[in-house]
Amino acid sequence: MDNRQGTSPSEPFSDADGDGKNPPAPTETPAAPTDRDVKTKMYFQSLRYSYIGLFFGVAVILGFAVGSWLDRRFGTGSWLTMAGVLLGVASGFNELIRLARRYQREISQNHKAP
């Protein structure tokens, strides 16, 4: 039996692994976040959402390119180019809505957490 004491004099020391060598871990309160921690968190959060502009541009250009190629191949004037551009715009808005819903979910989870 170990003679060391735990958190109070009447409480015996409890060793989790039973070897008698590990004293109880001190209880520490978590440090308050610094300005640097807050800025870093905001920076990475903004990076997670900054791709949406690039996504819109790539989707529209890709739609234009594919539609243009199909127009040349099938000789349909510019109908497939317009359809490709509209699909690119629709794809961009779909991603924007998905991103907004994810952000709303994160906000509601942060408000529920203590």
Please write the tens of the pLDDT for every residue from 20-73. Answer: 666 656 666 667 778 888 889 888 888 888 899 999 999 999 999 999 999 999
Cα dihedral across residues 78, 83, 86, 91: positive or negative: negative
Residue ranges of domains in the chain: 52-112
pLDDT higher at 16 or 60:
60
Q: What is the pTM of this model?
A: 0.63
Cα dihedral across residues 81, 82, 88, 94: positive or negative: negative
Q: Give the model's confidence band at 106: pLDDT under 50 very low, under 70 low, under 90 confident, else very high.
A: confident
